[in-house]
Amino acid sequence: MSPLDGFSLSRWWSLVLKEFLQLRRDRLTFAMIVGIPIVQLALFGYAINTDPKHMPTAIIGADHSEMTRTMIATMKTSGYFDIVGELPDEEAGRAALARGEVQFVLNIPAGFTRRVLRGERPALLVEADATDPMATGMALASVNQLARSVATKDLTGPLAFLAGGQAPFEVRVHRLYNPEGITRYNIVPGLMGVILTMTMVLMTGLAITRERERGTMENLLAMPAKPIEVMTGKIVPYIAIGLIQSTIIILAARFAFRVPFAGSAVTLYLAVLLFVAANLTVGITMSSLAQSQLQAMQMTMFYFLPNILLSGFMFPFQGMPAWARFIGNLLPLTYFNRLTRGIFLKGNGWWDLWPDIWPLMVFTVVVMAIAVTFYRRTLD
Amino acid sequence: MSDEYAIDVRGLNKHFGDKHVVKDVGLQVRRGEIFGFLGPNGSGKTTTIRMLCGLLKPDAGSGTCLGYDIRRDSARIKRHVGYMTQKFSYWDDLTIRENLDFVARMYGMPDRLEAVDRTLKGLGLMERANQMTGALSGGWKQRLALAACKLHDPELLLLDEPTAGVDPGARRDFWEELHRLSAAGISVLVSTHYMDEAERCHKLAYIAYGSLLAQGTSQEVIAAQGLITWAIYGGNLAGLSETLQKLPGVEQTVLFGAMLHVSGRDGDLLERTLRATAAGAAFRMEKVDTNLEDVFIYKMKQSADQNGIGT
Ligand SMILES: Nc1ncnc2c1ncn2[C@@H]1O[C@H](COP(=O)(O)OP(=O)(O)OP(=O)(O)O)[C@@H](O)[C@H]1O
Ligand SMILES: [Mg+2]
């Protein structure tokens, strides 16, 4: 017997129609069908850049001459480097790199030009925050080429002899934090935030909508429990789950992936707690808005997508266009990625981490306020 | 603070969007009374009950529940009220014992384990205590829910269709239990669609389209309508019912299986019409007491006409 025996076209068509009818009424699903491809196209098409340019670069300039100016100008025109300022000394340069304020520091030593003219082949030092090898790779590959072109441009006339053969100065590159440029070192700490975002938002969202969907919320609200007790009682288990997840990731990073751990575990756990809090507030807000578990799930996906693409997890943050960075700056994962990478690879302490801590605090407080306003104390 | 009334509310109103779902409802339930709450589907019973126990904020109206203000003291009301939701609202993925234990904890009962054991024994579920609640049949879920909402010895029970889907034996047990509780001074507000249950209540309220149409003992409610009713047996009752509906004096016909109830307010006119139409060998007829069902169907039709809704 063929499976088509007794197949009724009209019955089949009614099934198709019913599906369309239901789909049309389910606005959120409909929005996702249309919205997700658009969002993904926009993000992958425009924001994502595998040849990231315009990386913030600071200069420690102890020598000002025509030649250093040309060098700086050439770096600018290459498109890879955006000169964002001058720093007084190497220490300030390291601090700026640690905080992630700049991606590169160009260090021009005192007497550089004079030594070039004497034919001593001095070195320019480029220090790079190589946490994310993808962010620095292309730029660093280009600097030696840039140096040679400076030489041919500037060293003319009586100095032309310096332009021939070897470059008259060398560019020494220091890849800090991840000297071998191992991608894993960058990805694994980043994964921590990605996993926490996914599970924390989804699980709190589901936990609360589940009660509503099954009708048990009515029972819970009819009992003497206060709303704050219900809310926090539901959240605490997920904080514990977040800590367990983090521990698993930290252990895996350390022992399975051999990611160096330069910072303090206490600092890392405190950062995790803050980030978990930020995500739980998002989950609570979503659960107040979602009518069903399915909707909570869809909202989570919607929230997850920009988080994973625009937070600097997948693609170098500084290499994204301004609008993408603007969105990224609104997402807690952006800051948490910097925190974990900073703690794992750079060994950052509180002072260095502060620029990424306060935005998380602000985010948590603001979203918590939203959650409280949307929270339904009653069944209305 | 009134000691006489367990529930004393006036002018309750509730809107959902632009839908006016409860309109000026007032209820007076004395302590120790079993108060039946009746009305067709969607008439606002559940919504009214939810306002009584603080789950919904009334848009207008005020009153007390166990002497506590329903607007300000909902926390205290919750502590002394047992509310059984219409839809089963315990946790399917907890065992029966875990559910009861959770309830006992929420109310901070000092002798928690004892209370749980007592309830399990009373239900006859001791052997199944560690089964998942979701595995219970519909009727057993109802019984569990009822037992759970009494667990914390509430002074007032708000029961929203507690016997829907429960077999007749269990329903009889349930009503005997309610009368025992009532004798012990516990007040009960119970919504139901069963007329036999309505007749077991001390007092009744009937709500349709959000408005309270009648309140009082069943005799009072019936008497207030002033309906005269005849019962007709034998022959083609469905056909007769259709014929009668168009005739003078007949305001309502209700078919109860092998018996047709014909009601009207003008007794003489009704009797003349019936004698002219249905007299004969095929039909036997007698004057009977108007029952609650006649009255409620009559009221519902009346209010449907007033609300401009065709029946
Ligand atoms: N949360 C809500 N949002 C919007 N409308 C609602 C909501 N809850 C109830 N309603 C509407 O209010 C009206 C009254 O509903 P309610 O549940 O109180 O009726 P009921 O008398 O309990 O009916 P039933 O006998 O079917 O249980 C209905 O028209 C219903 O559609
Ligand atoms: Mg109801």
Structure tokens, A236: 């605490």
Residue B259 has pLDDT above 50, yes or no: yes
Contact A225 B75 (CB under 8 A): no
Contacts of B50 in chain A (CB under 8 A): 218, 379
Contact A222 B91 (CB under 8 A): no
Q: How far is B139 from chain A (nearest CA, A)?
A: 17
Distance (Å, whole) CA B12 – CA A36: 46
Task: pLDDT band for B271, please (50, 70, 90 cuts).
Answer: confident
B233, B283 Cβ separation under 8 angstroms: yes
CA of A192 to the centre of ligand 2 (A): 47
CA of B44 to the centre of ligand 2 (A): 7
Q: Which residue does chain B place closest to A230, by CA atoms?
A: B106
Which residue reads 């030009």 in tokens?
Answer: A113
Which residue reads 């994964």 in tokens?
Answer: A191
Nearest CA among A103, A64, A99, A65 for reference residue A83: A103
Tell me the angle at which helices A183-214 and A293-310 cross, rounded to the nearest 10 degrees: 160
Residue A79 backbone phi and psi in degrees, to 5: 90, -15
A217, A327 Cβ separation under 8 angstroms: no
Tell me the angle at which helices B237-245 and B267-278 cross, rounded to the nearest 10 degrees: 130
Nearest CA among B33, B28, B79 for reference residue B185: B33
Distance (Å, whole) CA B166 – CA A267: 59
Helices within chain A (DSSP H only): 9-25, 27-42, 66-78, 90-98, 112-117, 133-154, 160-163, 183-214, 216-222, 227-251, 265-289, 293-310, 322-328, 332-341, 350-374
A304, A332 Cβ separation under 8 angstroms: no
CA of B45 to the centre of ligand 2 (A): 5
Which strands form A170-176's sheet, in the order they lie side by side?
Answer: A81-86, A55-61, A104-108, A123-129, A170-176
Helix (H, G, I), strand (E, B) or coil at A60: strand
* Residue B14 alpha carbon, nearest atom of ligand 1: 12
Structure tokens, A51: 């040849």
- Digit-coded pLDDT (tens) for B151-185: 999 999 999 999 988 889 889 988 999 999 999 99
Contacts of A224 in chain B (CB under 8 A): 75, 78-79, 106-108
Distance (Å, whole) CA A167 – CA A124: 12
Strand-pair category, A170-176 with A123-129 = parallel
A194, A307 Cβ separation under 8 angstroms: yes
pLDDT score, position B307? 72
Contact A219 B106 (CB under 8 A): no
B44, B67 Cβ separation under 8 angstroms: no
- Digit-coded pLDDT (tens) for B6-33: 999 999 999 998 999 999 999 999 999 9
Q: Which residue does chain B place closest to A226, by CA atoms?
A: B75
Contacts of A214 in chain B (CB under 8 A): 89, 91-92
To test the contact with chain B by mutation, choose from A213, A217, A219 the residue with the greatest count of B C-beta atoms within 10 A, namely A219
CA of B85 to the centre of ligand 1 (A): 13
Topology adopted by domain A55-176: abc type-2 transporter like fold (3.40.1710)
pLDDT score, position B200? 93
Q: Tell which wins on pLDDT, B282 or A44.
A: B282
* Residue B50 alpha carbon, nearest atom of ligand 1: 18
Q: How far is A20 from chain B (nearest CA, A)?
A: 28
Domain residue ranges of chain A, discontinuous segments joined by +: 55-176, 183-379
Q: What is the ipTM of this complex?
A: 0.82
Mutate to test the pocket of ligand 1, among B43, B49, B193, B197 (most ligand atoms within 8 A of CB): B43
Contact B57 A380 (CB under 8 A): yes
Structure tokens, B40: 């067709």
Residues above pLDDT 90, as percent of chain B: 53
- Digit-coded pLDDT (tens) for B210-221: 999 889 998 998
- Digit-coded pLDDT (tens) for A236-249: 888 888 898 889 88
Beta bridge partners, B156, equal: B81, B187
| C-alpha angle B16-B20-B24 in degrees, rounded to nearest 5 | 120
Task: pLDDT band for B310, please (50, 70, 90 cuts).
Answer: very low
Distance (Å, whole) CA A357 – CA A352: 10
Strand-pair category, B228-233 with B34-38 = unpaired
Q: Tell which wins on pLDDT, B193 or A63.
A: B193
The residue whose CA has the least distance to atom 19 of ligand 1 is B42
Strand-pair category, B187-191 with B34-38 = parallel
The residue whose CA has the least distance to atom 7 of ligand 1 is B16
Contact A379 B103 (CB under 8 A): no
The beta-carbon neighbor of B87 closest among A215, A222, A380 is: A215
Structure tokens, A288: 């107040």
pLDDT score, position B98? 92
Which residue reads 């070039």 in tokens?
Answer: A116
Contact B55 A219 (CB under 8 A): no
Mean pLDDT of the residues in chain B:
89
Q: Enumerate domains of chain B plus CATH numbers.
A: 5-216 (3.40.50.300), 226-306 (3.30.70.250)
| CB-based burial, A348-363: b 16+ in 10 Å, e otherwise | beeebbeebbebbeeb
Residue B202 backbone phi and psi in degrees, to 5: -70, -40
Contact B78 A222 (CB under 8 A): yes
The beta-carbon neighbor of A380 closest among B56, B75, B106 is: B56
pLDDT score, position A162? 56
Q: How far is B73 from chain A (nearest CA, A)?
A: 11
- The letter for the amino acid at A266 is V
Distance (Å, whole) CA B43 – CA B62: 20
Structure tokens, A224: 């003497």
The beta-carbon neighbor of A379 closest among B55, B88, B106 is: B55
Helix (H, G, I), strand (E, B) or coil at B303: helix
Structure tokens, A307: 């988080």
Distance (Å, whole) CA A195 – CA A340: 13
B57, B13 Cβ separation under 8 angstroms: no
pLDDT by residue, tens only, chain A of 380 residues: 566 777 778 777 877 787 777 777 777 777 766 776 677 666 666 666 667 888 899 998 878 888 888 888 888 888 888 888 888 888 888 888 888 889 999 888 888 888 888 888 888 888 888 888 888 888 888 887 787 777 676 666 555 555 555 667 788 888 888 887 777 888 888 888 988 998 889 888 888 888 888 888 889 888 887 777 777 788 888 888 889 888 988 888 888 888 889 899 999 999 999 999 999 999 988 888 888 888 888 899 889 988 988 898 888 888 888 888 899 999 999 999 999 999 998 888 888 899 999 999 999 999 988 887 777 655 56
Helix (H, G, I), strand (E, B) or coil at B286: strand
To test the contact with chain A by mutation, choose from B59, B89, B98, B100 the residue with the greatest count of A C-beta atoms within 10 A, namely B89
Distance (Å, whole) CA B71 – CA A304: 41
Longest dimension (CA), chain A: 96
Residues with CB under 6 A from ligand 1: B 16, 21, 39, 41-47, 86
CA of B118 to the centre of ligand 1 (A): 35
Helix (H, G, I), strand (E, B) or coil at B158: strand
Q: Which of residues 42-101 of B touch A (CB under 8 A)?
A: 50, 53-57, 75, 78-79, 81, 83, 85, 87-92
pLDDT score, position B311? 40
Q: How far is B71 from chain A (nearest CA, A)?
A: 12
Contacts of B91 in chain A (CB under 8 A): 214, 216
